C-alpha cells in the first residue's frame, strides 16, 4: 500500500456512528478499511500516519464556490485546501466564463470582475477557451500541466448562455433563440458540466421567463443533471421565489438544488420554518430537491447587483452610461431607496447594512471595511452619492457585505435532511467575507462543538456524501473501499475557522492533513506543492 492512516476515528460520511479503524490508500483510492473490532490483519504500507485522536472523514465538497479564476490564478489556493475542501462546484449564479465568444467574454469579465477579478486588460490568465469543454480542459492542465489545487465541477451559467444567444435585452427570447440556448446547454452537459445555474437577480439571466427556464431545465433533466438557481428574491418575495423554482423544476422533471438557501432581511426573520414546510411538502410528493447554505449571517455580492434590472439592460457599459446621466441616476436612486429594487430583492436599500469589502482601484481602498452610510456621513453627503461615485470610479467593481441575515433561520435550515454546505466564497477584495476561508471549520467548530446544532456525524454527512449524491458521483463522499482517497484528518476538539470579519484571510486551525487522490495537499498543517485537482465531469 502507499499509505495507512492508523487508529483513526472514522466518520465515513453516511451519517452513521464513528468507529476506529485503519484506512489504507493505494493508487489514489481507498484500498482497505479495517475496523478495530473487526479482527484480521492490520494493513501495512510504505508510509504510516498516526491518526490517534483525530477524525478521518471524506473530503468536503463546496457546493457553491466562486473560484472560477482563482483555481487558474493561484496554485496554492489554501483558502479552500486548508479547510479540507477537496471539490468545489463553480459556474454559479448564472454568470461564468464558458460558453462564450469574443464579445461576451469581454462583457462577462467586466460584469463579474468583483467576484473573480480578471477584468478586461488584466493579463494574469490566458482566456483562450471558449467552450465548456475547453474550460474544463484548462482546469485539468492547470499549472504547467500539473493540475490545480482542488477538484472542480462546473455548472453551465444560464445568464452567460442568454448573453451569447440573446444579448442583454430585457425581452422574451424568440423560439430560435431558445433553441440556440438549448443547444448550448446540451453541448456543455455533453462536455462534462454537472448542471445549470441561474442568477435571477442578476442581469441578463433575470430577464428569462419561467417558460424559457423550463425549456432549458428539460435539457438538463435529459442528461441527469441538476438546476441550481439563485432565485428571484431572498427578501420581499422569498417564499414565492422558492415556490416558483420548485414548480418550474417539477414541470421540467429536473432535479433542483437551491443555492445559498436562506431567508434574509427583517421581514423574513424567523420564517425559515415556512420555507422548510414548503420543501417537505414537495419532497413528500416525490420532488428531488437539495440546498446549500453558509454558516454566517451577512451575504456577499457586488454593489452593482443592488441596482434595478432595467439600469443594467444592455450590459456593463450601458449601466455605466446610465449612472453618468444625472436624471437617470436619480431614477435609479429612487427605485433603490424608496421602492425596493429587484436587484435588492424588493427591499428598500438600507445603506447602513452595505459594507464595501473590495475595490479594484487602489485609490478607493479607504472605503473598504466601512459601510456606505458611514463613508457618506464622513464626507457630508447622501449615501447614494457615495455609492454612485464608487460604481463609476471603480467601473462597477466594488464588492459588498450585506448585513441582513438571522441566526435562527441559519440554524433551522442547516438541520434539514437535504442540506449541504456551500461557502459562496468570493476571494476578491481586501476584506472578503470570512466564509471564503472559514465555512467548513465554522460548521465543525461553532455549530457542532460549541452550539450542538448538529452532531459531528450529521455534519460530516452534510458536507460529503449528500453533495456527492447530488453531483451523481459514484466514488466520492464516503470512506469506503474503492472510493477515491479524498480525505480530511481533523481534530474535533480544536477545529475552528480562523477567518473573521476583521481578518478574513486567516486560515483555519485543527485540520492537519488533507489528501486528494491519496496525495497530501495539506500536511502537518502546511500547504504542499501538490496539484492533485482536476475537473470532475458529469458521468
CB 390 within 8 A of CB 398: yes
Helix 326-334 and helix 383-393, axial crossing angle in degrees, nearest 10: 120
Beta-carbon contacts of residue 277 (< 8 Å; ≥ 6 apart): none
- Going by C-alpha positions, the residue among 213, 223, 275 that lies closest to residue 250 is 213
For residue 503, being part of any structural domain is answered with no
Do residue 281 and residue 422 come from a single domain? yes
Torsion angle, CA of 287/212/235/454, rounded to 10 degrees? 30
Q: In this structure, is residue 220 part of a structural domain?
A: yes
Give domain status of residue 199, yes or no.
Answer: yes
- Exposure class string for 51-77: b at 16+ Cβ within 10 A, else e: beebbbbbbbbbbbbbbbbbbbbbbeb
Scan for cell 464622513, then name that residue. Answer: 378
Residue 84 lies in a domain: yes
- pLDDT score at 539: 78
Say whether both 441 and 374 belong to one domain. Answer: no
**Angle between helix 316-324 and helix 383-393 axes, rounded to 10 deg:** 140
| pLDDT at position 125 | 94
Range of the domain at 451: 60-297+405-475
Do 96 and 207 lie in a common domain?
yes
**What's the confidence (pLDDT) of residue 78?**
98
Determine, yes or no, domain membership for 211: yes
The region that residue 233 occupies, defined by phi over 0 for left and psi between -120 and 50 for alpha, beta otherwise, is: beta
Which residue among 454, 475, 496 closes a domain?
475
Q: Is 352 a member of any domain?
A: yes
Give residue 418's pLDDT: 98
The residue out of 428, 455, 475 marking a domain boundary is 475
Instruction: Give the pLDDT score at 177.
Output: 98
| 8 A C-beta contact, residue 412 and residue 273 | yes
DSSP 306-352: GS-HHHHTT-HHHHHHHHHSHHHHHHHHHIIIII--GGGTT----GG
Return the pLDDT at 128. Answer: 96
- Picking from 209, 265, 261, the residue whose alpha carbon sits closest to that of residue 236 is 265
One domain, residues 76 and 138? yes
Do residues 449 and 313 both lie within one domain?
Answer: no
Indicate if 411 and 363 belong to the same structural domain.
no
Last residue of a domain, one of 451, 475, 499: 475
On whether the CB atoms of residues 216 and 184 are closer than 8 A, the answer is: no
**Residue 65 bridge partners (DSSP):** 425
What is the 8-class DSSP label of residue 135?
A: H
Same domain flag for 276 and 193: yes
Contacts 24+ apart (CB under 8 A), 523-529: 527/76, 527/78, 527/81, 527/82, 529/75
Residues contacting 230, CB < 8 A, separation 6+: 92, 93, 94, 197, 198, 199, 200, 201, 202, 259, 260
Task: Yes or no: say if 67 and 425 are a contact pair by the CB < 8 Å rule.
Answer: yes
pLDDT at 52: 87
SS3 291: strand
Helix and strand element counts for the chain (H, E): 19, 22
Q: Say if residue 418 is in the same domain as residue 326.
A: no
Same domain, 398 and 413: no
* Torsion angles phi and psi, residue 431, rounded to 5: -135, 70
Whether 49 maps to a domain, the answer reads no
Number of structural domains the chain divides into: 2
Claim to verify: residue 231 and residue 333 sit in the same structural domain: no
Q: Percentage of the chain surpassing pLDDT 90? A: 96
Question: Can you tell me the distance from the alpha carbon of 311 to that of 300, in angstroms, rounded to the nearest whole number?
Answer: 20
Q: Which three cell numbers stand for residue 206?
A: 433575470
Distances (CA, A) of 396 to 51, 90, 162, 369, 408: 49, 22, 21, 18, 33
Of residues 252, 251, 250, 270, the one with CA closest to residue 262 = 270
Cell 485609490 belongs to which residue? 363
- How do the pLDDT tens digits run along the chain, 539 residues long? 999 999 999 999 999 999 999 999 999 999 999 999 887 789 999 999 999 889 999 999 999 999 999 999 999 999 999 999 999 999 999 999 999 999 999 999 999 999 999 988 899 899 999 999 999 999 999 999 999 999 999 999 999 999 999 999 999 999 999 999 999 999 999 999 999 999 999 999 999 999 999 999 999 999 999 999 999 999 999 999 999 999 999 999 999 999 999 999 999 999 999 999 999 999 999 999 999 999 999 999 999 999 999 999 999 999 999 999 999 999 999 999 999 999 999 999 999 999 999 999 999 999 999 999 999 999 999 999 999 999 999 999 999 999 999 999 999 999 999 999 999 999 998 999 999 999 999 999 999 999 999 999 999 999 999 999 999 999 999 999 999 999 999 999 999 999 999 999 999 999 999 999 999 999 999 999 999 999 999 97
Query: Is 492 inside any structural domain?
Result: no
**Do residues 65 and 494 touch, judged by C-beta distance below 8 A?**
no
The CATH number of the domain holding residue 219 is: 3.20.20.140
Instruction: Judge if 93 and 203 occupy the same domain.
Output: yes
* 64 within 8 A of 169, measured Cβ to Cβ: no
**CA-CA distance, 266 to 405, in Å (whole number)?**
8
Examine the domain organization and report whether 389 and 341 are in the same domain.
yes
Amino acid at each position: 500500500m502507499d499509505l495507512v492512516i492508523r487508529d483513526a476515528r472514522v466518520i465515513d460520511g453516511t451519517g452513521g456512528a464513528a468507529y476506529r479503524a485503519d484506512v489504507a490508500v493505494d493508487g489514489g483510492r481507498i484500498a482497505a478499511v479495517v475496523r478495530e473490532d473487526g479482527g484480521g490483519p492490520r494493513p501495512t504500507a510504505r508510509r504510516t500516519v498516526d491518526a490517534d485522536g483525530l477524525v478521518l472523514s471524506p473530503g468536503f465538497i463546496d457546493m457553491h464556490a466562486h473560484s472560477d479564476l482563482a483555481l487558474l490564478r493561484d496554485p496554492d489556493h489554501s483558502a479552500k485546501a486548508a479547510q479540507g475542501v477537496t471539490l468545489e462546484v463553480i459556474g454559479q449564479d448564472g454568470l461564468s466564463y464558458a460558453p462564450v465568444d469574443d464579445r461576451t467574454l469581454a462583457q462577462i469579465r467586466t460584469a463579474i470582475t468583483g467576484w473573480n477579478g480578471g477584468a478586461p486588460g488584466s493579463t494574469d490568465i490566458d482566456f483562450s477557451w471558449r467552450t465548456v469543454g475547453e474550460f474544463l480542459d484548462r482546469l485539468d492542465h492547470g499549472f504547467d500541466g500539473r493540475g490545480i489545487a482542488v477538484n472542480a465541477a462546473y455548472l453551465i451559467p444560464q445568464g452567460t448562455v442568454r448573453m451569447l444567444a440573446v444579448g442583454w435585452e430585457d425581452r422574451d427570447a424568440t423560439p430560435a433563440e431558445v433553441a440556440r440556448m438549448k443547444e448550448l446547454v446540451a453541448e456543455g452537459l455533453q462536455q462534462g458540466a454537472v448542471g445549470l445555474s441561474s442568477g435571477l437577480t442578476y442581469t441578463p439571466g433575470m430577464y428569462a421567463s419561467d417558460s424559457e427556464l423550463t425549456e432549458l431545465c428539460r435539457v438538463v433533466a435529459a442528461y441527469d443533471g441538476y438546476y441550481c438557481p439563485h432565485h428571484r428574491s431572498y427578501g420581499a418575495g422569498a417564499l414565492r421565489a422558492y415556490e416558483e423554482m420548485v414548480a418550474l423544476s417539477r414541470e421540467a422533471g429536473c432535479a433542483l438544488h437551491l443555492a445559498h438557501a436562506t431567508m434574509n432581511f427583517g421581514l423574513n426573520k424567523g420564517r425559515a420554518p415556512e420555507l422548510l414546510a414548503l420543501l417537505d411538502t414537495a419532497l413528500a410528493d416525490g420532488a428531488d430537491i437539495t440546498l446549500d447554505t453558509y454558516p454566517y449571517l451577512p451575504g456577499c455580492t457586488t454593489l452593482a447587483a443592488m441596482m434595478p434590472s432595467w439600469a443594467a439592460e444592455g450590459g456593463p457599459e450601458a449601466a455605466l452610461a446610465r449612472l453618468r446621466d444625472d436624471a437617470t441616476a436619480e431614477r435609479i436612486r429612487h427605485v433603490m431607496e424608496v421602492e425596493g429594487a429587484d436587484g435588492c430583492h424588493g427591499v428598500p436599500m438600507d445603506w447602513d447594512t452595505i459594507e464595501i469589502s473590495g475595490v479594484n482601484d487602489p485609490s478607493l481602498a479607504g472605503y473598504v471595511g466601512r459601510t456606505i452610510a458611514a463613508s457618506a456621513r464622513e464626507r457630508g453627503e447622501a449615501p447614494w452619492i457615495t455609492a454612485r461615485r464608487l460604481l463609476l470610479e471603480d467601473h462597477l467593481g466594488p464588492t459588498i457585505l450585506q448585513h441582513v441575515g438571522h441566526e435562527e433561520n441559519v440554524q433551522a435550515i442547516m438541520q434539514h435532511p437535504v442540506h449541504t454546505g456551500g461557502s459562496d466564497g468570493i476571494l476578491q477584495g481586501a476584506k472578503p467575507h470570512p466564509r471564503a476561508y472559514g465555512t467548513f471549520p465554522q460548521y465543525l467548530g461553532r455549530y457542532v462543538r460549541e452550539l450542538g446544532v448538529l452532531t459531528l456525524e450529521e455534519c460530516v454527512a452534510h458536507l460529503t456524501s449528500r453533495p456527492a449524491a447530488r453531483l451523481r458521483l459514484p466514488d466520492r463522499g464516503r470512506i469506503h473501499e474503492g472510493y477515491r482517497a479524498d480525505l480530511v484528518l481533523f481534530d474535533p476538539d480544536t477545529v475552528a475557522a480562523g477567518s473573521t470579519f476583521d481578518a478574513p484571510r486567516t486560515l483555519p486551525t485543527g485540520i492537519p492533513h488533507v489528501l486528494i487522490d491519496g496525495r497530501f495537499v495539506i500536511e502537518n498543517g502546511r500547504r504542499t506543492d501538490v496539484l492533485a485537482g482536476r475537473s470532475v465531469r458529469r458521468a
